Structure 1
Amino acid sequence: MTILGDIVKVDKKLDVNVDWIMEELGVGQSFDVIRRDITLAGRRATLFYINGLVKDEIMTYILTSFSRLEEEDLTPNAFLQLYNKYVSYIQVEDVDDLHKAVDKIVCGEIALIVDGFNKVIAIDVRKYPARMPEESDLERVVRGSRDNFVETILFNANLLRRRVRDPKLRMEMLQVGSRSKTDVAVVYIKDIANPRLVDTIKEKIKAIKMDGLPMAEKSLEEFIGPGSFWNPFPRVRYTERPDVAAAHLLEGHVLVMVDTSPSVMILPATLFHHLQHAEEFRQAPLIGTFLRTVRFLGVAVSVFLPPLWLLVSLQPDLLPPDLSWIGPKKLGAIPLAVQFIFAEMGIDLMRMAAIHTPTALATALGLIAAVLIGEIAVAVGFFNPEVILYMAIAAVGIFATPSYELGMANTLVRIALLIGVGLFRLPGFVAVTLGTFLLLLTTKSFGLPYLWPLIPFNGSALKDIFVRPPVPLQKLRPRALHPLDLDRQPYPEPARKPLQREKRIWPQFMEDEDDNHEK
Structure 2
Amino acid sequence: MNEKISGELQLNINRLNQTLFVGKNYDLKYRTLHVGGKDLCVYFIDGFLDDHTMERLMETFLTIKNEDMPETPHEFSKKYIPYGSVSLADDYEKIITAILSGISCLFIDGYEEAIMIDCRNYPMRGVEEPVKDRVLRGSRDGFVETIAFNTALIRRRIRSPELVMEMLYVGEKSQTNVVISYLDSRVDHEFLDKLRKRINDIEVDSLTMNSQSLAECLYQYPWYNPFPKYKFSERPDTAAACILEGNVVILVDNSPSAMITPSSVFDIIEEADDYYFPPVTGSYLRLTKFLVNFTSMAITPVWLLLMQNSVLVPEWLKFIMINEMINVPLIYQFLILEVAIDGLHLAAVNTPNMLTTPLSIMAALVLGDLSVSSGWFNSEVMLYMAFVAIANYSQPNFELAYAFKFMRMITLVLTAIFNVWGFVIGWIITIAAIVFNKTIAGRSYLYPLFPFNLRQFLKRFIRVRLPHNDKGLR
Q: Distance in 2 between matches of 1:380 and 1:474?
A: 63
Match of 2:8 among 13, 24, 35: 13
Change (3 A) 1:474 1:301: farther
CA distance in 1, matches of 2:237, 2:471: 19
Name which of 145, 148, 154 aligns with 2:142. 148
The aligned counterpart of 2:420 is 426
Aligned to 1:50: 45
Displacement of 1:475 after TM fit? 3.0
Which of these residues, 215, 220, 224, is aligned with residue 214 of structure 2? Answer: 220
**Structure 1, gaps ≥5 residues long:** 479-487, 489-519
Aligned residue for 2:167, secondary structure, equals strand
1:81 aligned partner, one-letter code: E
Does 2:72 match 1:88?
no
2:223 is aligned to 229
Could you say which residue in structure 2 is the equivalent of 1:417?
Answer: 411
The 1:372–1:439 alpha-carbon spacing in structure 2 relative to 1, beyond 3 Å, is: closer
Quick one: which amino acid aligns to residue 15 of structure 1?
Answer: Q
CA contact under 8 A between 2:348 and 2:356: conserved in structure 1?
yes
* More divergent stretch after superposition (79-88 vs 433-442): 79-88
Residue number in structure 2 paired with 1:483:
none
CA contact (8 A) 1:225 1:236 kept: no
Which residue of 450, 458, 474 maps to 1:455? 450
Distance 1:292 1:212 in 2: 39
2:328 aligned with 1:306, yes or no? no
Q: Distance in 1 between matches of 2:469 and 2:349?
A: 39
| Preserved CA contact (<8 Å) 2:244 2:471 | no
User: What CA RMSD, in Å, does the superposition of the two structures yield over aligned residues?
Assistant: 1.4
- Residue 367 (structure 1) aligned with residue 361 (structure 2): yes
- How many positions carry a matched residue from both structures? 473
SS at 1:469 equivalent = coil
Output the TM-score relative to the length of structure 2.
0.98
One of 96, 99, 103 as aligned partner of 2:93? 99
Identity over the aligned pairs, expressed in percent?
36
The structure 2 residue matched to 1:325, chosen from 319, 326, 341, is: 319
Matched, 1:179 2:173: yes
Shift of 1:170: 0.4
Q: 1:38 aligns with which of 25, 33, 42?
A: 33
Displaced runs of 4 or more, over 4 A: none
Distance of 2:324 and 2:311 partners within structure 1: 17
Secondary structure, aligned partner of 1:449: coil
Cα shift readout 1:157-183 (whole Å, capped 9, x = no counterpart):
000000000101001101101111110
1:300-332 per-residue CA deviation (whole Å, 9 max, x = no partner) reads: 111111111111011112222332222212232
Correspondence 1:429-444 to 2 at 5 A = 429-444=423-438
Give the Cα separation in 2 of the matches to 1:210 and 1:267.
21
User: What's the offset of the Cα at 1:97?
Assistant: 0.3
Q: Deviations over 1:419-459 (max 9, x none)?
A: 11111111111101111111211111112211111122111
Q: CA deviation at 1:230?
A: 3.1
Check whether the contact 1:302–1:396 (CA below 8 A) recurs between aligned residues: no
Deviation at 1:79, TM superposition (A): 2.6
Q: Are 1:467 and 2:462 counterparts?
A: yes
In 2, the alpha carbon distance for the partners of 1:452 and 1:226 equals: 21
Normalising by structure 1, we get a TM-score of 0.89
**Cα distance in structure 2, aligned partners of 1:455 and 1:250:** 23
Indicate if the aligned counterparts of 1:302 and 1:393 stay in contact, CA closer than 8 A. yes
Which ranges of structure 2 fall in alignment gaps of 5 or more residues?
A: none
Q: Which amino acid counterpart does residue 136 of structure 2 have in structure 1?
A: V
Q: 1:78 deviation in Å?
A: 3.8
Asked if the contact 1:92–1:122 (Cα under 8 Å) also holds between the matched residues in 2, the reply is yes
Q: From 74, 78, 85, give the equivalent of 2:69.
A: 74
Residues in 2 aligned to 1:321 and 1:161: alpha-carbon distance in whole angstroms: 61
Which secondary structure does the structure 2 equivalent of 1:90 belong to?
coil
In the alignment, which residue of structure 2 is the partner of 1:287?
Answer: 281
